[in-house]
Amino acid sequence: LAISFALPTYAQQKDVADPQTTQKILAMAKTGNDAHNNNDAAAIAEQFTRDGVFVTTEGPITGRQAIQNGIQTCSSGGTPSTTSTSSTGTSFT
Amino acid sequence: LIGTAGNELADPQTTQKILALMKAANEAQTNNDPAARVALYTRDAVFVTPDGGPIIGRQAIQKWFTDLYQWWHPKNSIHKVDGDAPHLIGTAGNELWATGEWSETGQGKNGEPIPIKRYRWWHPKDYITKLDGNAVHLIGTAGNELWATAEWSETGQGKNGEPLSIKGHWTRIYVREGDDWKIRVSAMNTTPDSVRLINKSFAPQPAATPSPTASP
């Protein structure tokens, strides 16, 4: 019982990750922001698993290389970078 | 199996159950039935909307659909799981993920069809993504899979170089790879206000018409 009182706050929330893991994910988000603002497609794709899936409004892109290619093409203006409908839409970034 | 989470497909029986869920969603959406729609979610489910971000809990989600159906009356709703293939998360067989396509038919203000447009040469700056509540959630109990929702924002240039600040939300599943974490699935949306901004800037300009006062 004493141990349960000593549990850190995160452990009392049933599904929240521990602080160390949370910090790693927040750091990933920051790295992603930097990569995005630097138009660095490789760095953005590097955050995905090799078989990662990036869901765009045009459908899912599967695989790190395909994701990198998609972002790269988008940055160079070769394909639509933003798709939208009158009610919903997505920035393909 | 660390690092391989999400690679495995669900068994045929489970897959059929998920596909049946999609069918139930189609019927609920086509019938504009919020209660039936929300019955497919867990009691503590998170529903990421394009306008307000995540809504938490079945009751709140039902209200969102109730409000939606006040003005939007979709018919012919179809939700399809890509490849008819839900994927396992982790190894316990208690969590799945899937991507899919949905479509439905609605009417615009004057009964007009809703256009889909594509835009090029978007050069965003000041991209920021913030995790909702700075919180990352565990999937299952092994500690090898996580999920999170977030808000993103960025500023791009409109057709005439004017700044367009847009934002939206995303949902992600992370998996452990050794000491690192990687994104297994990432899905994002854009708020309706942002889409309207983009539409307004990039929409084709109507051809000039003579002023009515100039008519004979």
Amino acid B2: pLDDT: 37
Taking only the tens place, the pLDDT of each residue in A77-87 is 433 333 333 33
pLDDT surpassing 70 at residue A38: yes
Give the pLDDT band (50/70/90) at residue B72. confident
SS (H, E, C) chain B: CCCCCCCCECCHHHHHHHHHHHHHHHHHHHCCCHHHHHCCCCCCCEEEECCCEEEECHHHHHHHHHHHHHHCCCEEEEEEEHHHCCEECCCCCCCEECCEEEEEECCCCCCCCCCEEEECCCCCEEEEEEEHHHCCEECCCCCCEEEEEEEEEEEEECCCCCEEEEEEEEEEEEEEECCEEEEEEEEEEECHHHHHHHHHHHCCCCCCCCCHHHCC
What is the per-residue burial (b if ≥16 Cβ within 10 Å, else e) of B71-93? Answer: eeebeebbbebeeeebbbbbeee
In chain A, the residue whose alpha carbon lies closest to the alpha carbon of B8 is A51
Report how many Cβ contacts below 8 Å link chain A to chain B: 158
In chain B, residues with a C-beta closer than 8 Å to the C-beta of A88 are 50, 189-190, 192, 195
Amino acid B1: pLDDT: 35
Question: What is the number of other CB atoms lying within 10 angstroms of the CB of residue B155?
Answer: 15
pLDDT surpassing 60 at residue B214: no
In chain A, residues with a C-beta closer than 8 Å to the C-beta of B130 are 29
pLDDT surpassing 70 at residue B210: no
What is the per-residue burial (b if ≥16 Cβ within 10 Å, else e) of A67-93? Answer: bbebbbebbeeeebbbbbebebbbbbb
Q: Are B42 and A14 contacting, i.e. CB atoms less than 8 angstroms apart?
A: no
Distance CA B16, CA B28 (A): 18
Give the pLDDT band (50/70/90) at residue A31. very high
Q: Which helix (H) or strand (E) holds A85?
A: strand A82-85
Distance CA A33, CA B124 (A): 11
Mean pLDDT computed over B165-189: 89
Amino acid B163: pLDDT: 86
Distance CA B30, CA A63 (A): 34
Amino acid A75: pLDDT: 60
pLDDT surpassing 90 at residue A3: no
Residues on chain A bordering chain B, Cβ-to-Cβ distance under 8 angstroms:
15-17, 21-22, 24-26, 28-29, 32-33, 36-37, 47-49, 51-57, 59-60, 74-75, 77, 79-93
> Which range among B3-12, B156-165, B179-188 has the greatest average pLDDT?
B179-188
pLDDT surpassing 80 at residue B55: yes
Look at A1-5, A27-31, B163-167 and tell me which has the smallest mean pLDDT: A1-5
Amino acid B64: pLDDT: 93
pLDDT surpassing 60 at residue B32: yes
Residues A21, B146: C-beta atoms closer than 8 Å = yes
In chain B, the residue whose alpha carbon lies closest to the alpha carbon of A45 is B183
Q: What letter does residue A17 receive in the DSSP assignment?
A: P
Amino acid B208: pLDDT: 57
In chain B, residues with a C-beta closer than 8 Å to the C-beta of A82 are 118-119, 122, 156, 190, 198
Question: What is the number of other CB atoms lying within 10 angstroms of the CB of residue B172?
Answer: 26
Nearest to A75 by CA among A41, A28, A50, A26: A41
Nearest to A48 by CA among A22, A19, A30, A28: A28
Distance CA B159, CA A39 (A): 20
pLDDT surpassing 60 at residue A92: no
Distance CA B105, CA B117 (A): 17
Mean pLDDT computed over B159-187: 88
- The CA angle A38-A68-A27, to the nearest 5 degrees, is 55
User: ipTM beyond 0.85?
Assistant: no
Mean pLDDT computed over A22-50: 91
Give the pLDDT band (50/70/90) at residue B205. low
- Whole-model pTM over 0.95: no
Best of B43, B109, B179, B186 to disrupt the A interface (most A CBs within 10 Å) is B186
In chain A, residues with a C-beta closer than 8 Å to the C-beta of B72 are 87
Distance CA B146, CA B57 (A): 19
B17 pairs with which residues across the strands? Answer: none
Taking only the tens place, the pLDDT of each residue in B76-101 is 788 888 889 899 988 888 898 988 88
Amino acid A50: pLDDT: 94
